[in-house]
């Protein structure tokens, strides 16, 4: 494995397919297109995840419980999710976009950004670049893309939300502020409290937000307010970052008879992680992202993924977040095939400490590194230092306040 530098692009095309998972199901089973259909959640099968337009018209909304949805629409057709299939279909789309541009950034299932800097010499004007993207996507099962083109990811994303299926909206360079001014406030990445406060102030569009002085918005909403104001004004252009897709390390296990017991699945998870760690390609690298997916009885599937804050090469640390997810949202059926994939890596490995001349010094270094990481996380969350050293100042004093002092902890 080698490290490859990430490519970036300021101009972007956002390719978006709404309700991607539901579209995958209707493509695979065309008879569902004429029915009120809903997918149950891959993490919580008691709630509705994606809802077809026919079901939305009678009041069914994502996040509802299944019983509430059926109460509103007795004819509702509920489908079990197949996240592995959706992921494969989206990967095909991303690969097709990669044939048009070397800078492709997947954002979420059904949405990806394509960097377009430098493509003018190859394809021509933005309209020609969009045409090349559409032609590339025709080789995938889903060609009804909504495409937005503009400077930065935010502008291109808003443009894509305004595009019709199979069409594109192009925002010319320099026209970002004019285009964004009429857009509703909901296109911004707002938390519910900030959204409510802005609506109470009478701010309903991005133009109304930009009409307020930037410093006034910052005084009310802090650093996040500055970012929101600049996004709304078209002054902040987040570049597309092309992700390097590493060759994953895969370990799989096929059960002779389907398994549904969590203890057996947890044991199988440990064995598969051990097998993947033993792969020669993993030597000298720590695991950062691990995916687990399972093929279930009756053709369904199950998928979970964990990103380790501190990349590791030990089974216990890799398995811990996965076992938590397994306990919280186990597979909806018995497992026929179990697969573990290491998909992202970080250089170096703590295993090298075993060969240090001074094992105690290596252990102290590891503890200090963990303390530094914990101190940084606390400071980021609370926005001020909360860890202190206690030192003696006047040990002869009878008053504890004078005898000791607190200084900021800097491991």
DSSP 100-113: T-S-EEEEETTEEE
d(CA 232, CA 307): 31
CA 255, 259, 265, 271: dihedral to nearest 10 degrees?
-20
Q: What are 137-166's pLDDT values in tens digits?
A: 766 655 678 999 999 999 999 999 999 988
Instruction: Give me 320's structure tokens.
Output: 């811990």
Instruction: Give me 12's structure tokens.
Output: 């972007």
Phi/psi of residue 213, nearest 5 degrees: -60, 140
Name the nearest CA neighbour of 411 among 390, 381, 388, 391: 388
d(CA 314, CA 354): 13
Name the nearest CA neighbour of 87 among 271, 232, 293: 293
DSSP 223-241: HHHHHHHHHHHT---PPEE
The count of other CB atoms within 10 Å of the CB of residue 229 is 23
Edge-to-edge, what's the strand order for the sheet holding 37-40? 48-51, 37-40, 77-79
Of 352 and 62, the one with more pLDDT: 62
The residue whose two tokens read 């930009």 is 210
Q: What are 50-89's pLDDT values in tens digits?
A: 999 999 999 999 999 999 999 999 999 999 888 888 988 8
Name the nearest CA neighbour of 92 among 28, 140, 127, 146: 140
Instruction: Give me 300's structure tokens.
Output: 């369904």
Q: Domains of the chain, with CATH numbers?
A: 1-35+75-245 (3.30.70.270), 249-352 (3.30.1490.100), 359-408 (no CATH)
Residue 351's pLDDT is what?
Answer: 44
Instruction: Give me 359's structure tokens.
Output: 């094992």
Q: What are 239-251's pLDDT values in tens digits?
A: 998 876 668 899 9
**Region 121-135 average pLDDT:** 90
| Residues 214, 228 contacting (CB under 8 angstroms) | no
β-bridge pairing 285-296 and 335-347 = antiparallel
Of 20 and 377, the one with more pLDDT: 20
**Region 28-36 average pLDDT:** 90
Sign of CA dihedral 120, 131, 17, 343: negative
How many C-alpha atoms does 339 have within 13 Å on its Cβ side? Answer: 16
Residue 7's pLDDT is what?
Answer: 78
- The residues, any chain, with a CB within 8 Å of residue 43's CB and separated by 6 or more, are 328, 329
**Predicted confidence band at 226 (pLDDT cuts at 50, 70, 90)?**
very high
Query: Which contiguous run of DSSP H or E holds residue 287?
Result: strand 285-296
Phi/psi of residue 17, nearest 5 degrees: -120, 105
d(CA 270, CA 240): 37
Residue 403's pLDDT is what?
Answer: 73
**Predicted confidence band at 357 (pLDDT cuts at 50, 70, 90)?**
very low
- Angle between the N-to-C axes of helices 214-233 and 192-200, in degrees from 0 to 180, rounded to the nearest 10: 110
d(CA 229, CA 207): 10
Q: What are 277-296's pLDDT values in tens digits?
A: 998 888 778 898 999 999 99
d(CA 277, CA 341): 10
- Asked if the model's pLDDT at residue 360 lies above 60, the reply is no
Report the DSSP beta bridge partners of residue 79: 39
Residue 284's pLDDT is what?
Answer: 77
Of 324 and 394, the one with more pLDDT: 324
- Asked if the model's pLDDT at residue 129 lies above 60, the reply is yes
């Amino acid at each position: 494995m080698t490290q490859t530098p990430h490519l970036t692009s300021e101009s972007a095309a956002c390719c978006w397919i709404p309700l991607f998972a539901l579209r995958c199901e209707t493509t695979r089973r065309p008879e569902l297109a004429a029915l009120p259909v809903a997918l149950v959640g891959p993490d919580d099968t008691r709630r509705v995840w994606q809802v077809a337009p026919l079901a939305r018209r009678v009041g069914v909304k994502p996040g509802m419980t299944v019983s509430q949805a059926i109460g509103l629409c007795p004819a509702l057709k509920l489908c079990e999710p197949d996240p592995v299939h959706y992921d494969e279909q989206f990967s095909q789309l991303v690969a097709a976009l990669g044939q048009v541009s070397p800078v492709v950034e997947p954002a979420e299932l059904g949405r990806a950004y394509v960097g377009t800097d430098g493509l003018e010499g190859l394809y021509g004007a933005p309209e020609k670049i969009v045409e090349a993207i559409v032609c590339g996507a025709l080789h995938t099962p889903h060609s009804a893309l909504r495409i937005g083109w503009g400077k930065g990811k935010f502008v291109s994303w808003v443009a894509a939300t305004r595009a019709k299926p199979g069409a594109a909206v192009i925002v010319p360079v320099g026209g970002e502020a004019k285009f964004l001014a009429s857009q509703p406030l909901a296109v911004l990445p707002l938390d519910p409290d900030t959204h409510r406060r802005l609506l109470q102030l009478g701010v309903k569009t991005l133009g109304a937000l930009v009409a307020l002085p930037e410093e006034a918005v910052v005084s009310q909403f802090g650093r996040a307010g500055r970012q929101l104001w600049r996004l709304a004004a078209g002054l902040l252009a987040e570049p597309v970052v092309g992700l390097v897709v590493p060759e994953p390390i895969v370990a799989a296990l096929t059960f002779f008879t389907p398994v549904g017991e969590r203890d057996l699945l947890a044991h199988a998870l440990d064995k598969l992680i051990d097998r993947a760690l033993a792969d020669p390609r993993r030597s000298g690298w720590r695991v950062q992202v691990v995916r687990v997916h399972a093929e279930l009885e009756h053709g369904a599937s199950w998928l979970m993924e964990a990103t380790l804050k501190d990349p590791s090469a030990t089974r216990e640390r890799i398995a811990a977040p996965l076992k938590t997810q397994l306990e919280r949202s186990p597979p909806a059926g018995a497992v026929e095939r179990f697969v573990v994939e290491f998909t992202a890596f970080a250089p170096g490995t703590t295993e090298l400490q075993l060969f240090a001349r001074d094992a105690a010094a290596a252990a102290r270094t590891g503890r200090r590194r963990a303390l530094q990481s914990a101190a940084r996380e606390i400071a980021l969350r609370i926005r001020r230092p909360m860890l202190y050293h206690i030192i003696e100042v006047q040990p002869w004093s009878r008053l504890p306040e004078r005898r000791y002092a607190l200084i900021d902890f800097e491991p």
